[in-house]
Amino acid sequence: MNNYKITNKKRNKTYFLNEEELINFFKQNTVQNWDIVNLTKQKRVKRNKILNTIALVCFFGATVLATILIIENNY
């Protein structure tokens, strides 16, 4: 179930709705006056960026450790 943040462009009034509420809301209102932000997608993108950063740091750490082990064993 996706969650949405809907903001009125003229009055800056904000609503937090799920999918069902969003459909019912726009039956009564026009879409043109509202900014729609998918909060579920934003949360997923944020989590993926954090996981990518953690993976990059782990890869860098493993590379450094492997280099140190190679130097220790061969010299």
pLDDT in tens, 7-66: 998 999 999 999 999 999 988 888 788 999 999 999 999 999 999 999 999 999 999 999
The model's confidence at residue 4, banded by pLDDT at 50, 70 and 90, is very high
Query: What is residue 33's predicted lDDT score, i.e. its pLDDT?
Result: 86
Would you say how long the chain is, in residues?
Answer: 75
Query: What is residue 1's predicted lDDT score, i.e. its pLDDT?
Result: 86
Query: What is residue 57's predicted lDDT score, i.e. its pLDDT?
Result: 98
The structural domains of the chain, with segments of one domain joined by +, span 3-74
CA pair distance 16, 25, nearest whole angstrom: 11
CA pair distance 8, 16, nearest whole angstrom: 12
pTM of the model: 0.72
